[in-house]
């Protein structure tokens, strides 16, 4: 089965654009699929639209009565996916604002089926790119990716901040079993969770790959949800937690994971 995760906050304009394309893409597969949407306290017609679309599309909705932010929304989506996923399933997460075209999903899934634990849709791979992004925003994005590559190096990765990814279900189930509620630890720090998932998966030995894709920011109809100052603070906090010399993530998590594996093997 393919499990598609969509975080949604005030996406009444974007959903009618995205969902038909997602439906067409998913129905091209010969296997079952489901779509899990976390409606993160939307104040517009997002919930009404989801109710209507669920009439002829396999959508399950997680409700947040108030807006909790991307960190808690991602946590709830991935924890729910881990519960329903089985061996051999693939979990795909993309944005709900129609900037991530579903047509790239088959290539991501193919790479997972060929052995990668995590495959990222990358603007920076040959053949990738972005449309509708201002020069200032493009500079900030590129700079942030360089920062992440320096402080959180993952072999072969150029794209760290894009949330459009496919995951082998087993690696997500293992990560949540090991980390528990700390798989996404920095929940209140904006879009930091997008990087945190990569780093936490790297620390338990996940393998990574990239596929080129075109970010369609020119199709974005809803307001941006990113608060740059909060996310920047999150990156700095995460850098400190990862590199702290006494029991930081880099050494502490790896040691805990080894002990956890030994404990599980002895059961």
Q: What is the pLDDT of residue 264?
A: 82
Q: What is the CA radius of gyration of the chain?
A: 18
Token match 């975080």: residue? 7
Rounded to an integer, what distance in angstroms lies between the CA atom of residue 80 and that of residue 173?
10
Q: What is the pLDDT of residue 137?
A: 83
Q: For 8-30, how does the pLDDT look when each residue is reduced to its tens digit (9 = 90+)?
A: 999 999 999 999 999 999 999 88
The third-level CATH classification (topology) of the domain covering 2-265 is: Spore Coat Polysaccharide Biosynthesis Protein SpsA; Chain A (3.90.550)
Q: What is the pLDDT of residue 266?
A: 63
Residues of the chain with pLDDT under 50: none
Which residues, at least 6 apart from 227, have a Cβ–Cβ distance to it below 8 Å?
A: 190
Q: What is the pLDDT of residue 34?
A: 95
Q: What is the pLDDT of residue 108?
A: 97
Chain-centroid distance of CA 74 in Å reads 7
Q: What is the pLDDT of residue 267?
A: 56
């Amino acid at each position: 089965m393919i499990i598609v995760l969509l975080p949604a906050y005030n996406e009444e304009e974007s959903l009618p654009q995205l969902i038909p394309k997602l439906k067409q893409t998913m129905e091209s597969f010969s296997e079952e699929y489901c779509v899990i949407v976390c409606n993160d306290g939307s104040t517009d017609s997002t919930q009404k639209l989801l109710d209507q679309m669920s009439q002829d599309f396999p959508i399950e909705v997680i409700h947040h009565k108030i807006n909790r932010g991307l960190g808690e929304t991602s946590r709830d989506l991935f924890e729910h996916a881990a519960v329903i996923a089985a061996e051999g399933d693939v979990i795909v997460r993309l944005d709900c604002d129609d900037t991530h075209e579903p047509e790239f999903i088959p290539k991501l899934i193919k790479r997972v089926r060929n052995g990668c634990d995590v495959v990222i849709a990358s603007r920076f791979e040959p053949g990738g790119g972005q449309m509708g992004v201002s020069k200032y925003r493009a500079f900030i994005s590129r700079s942030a990716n360089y920062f992440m590559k320096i402080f959180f190096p993952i072999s072969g990765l150029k794209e760290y901040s894009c949330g459009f990814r496919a995951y082998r279900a087993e690696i997500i189930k293992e990560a949540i079993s090991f980390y528990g509620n700390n798989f996404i630890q920095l929940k209140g720090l904006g879009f930091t969770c997008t990087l945190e998932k990569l780093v936490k998966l790297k620390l338990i030995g996940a393998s990574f790959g990239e596929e080129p894709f075109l970010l369609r920011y020119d199709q974005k109809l809803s307001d941006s949800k990113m608060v740059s100052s909060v996310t920047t603070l999150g990156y700095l906090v995460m850098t400190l937690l990862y590199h702290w010399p006494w029991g930081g993530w880099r050494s502490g998590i790896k040691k805990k994971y080894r002990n956890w594996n030994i404990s599980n093997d002895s059961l």
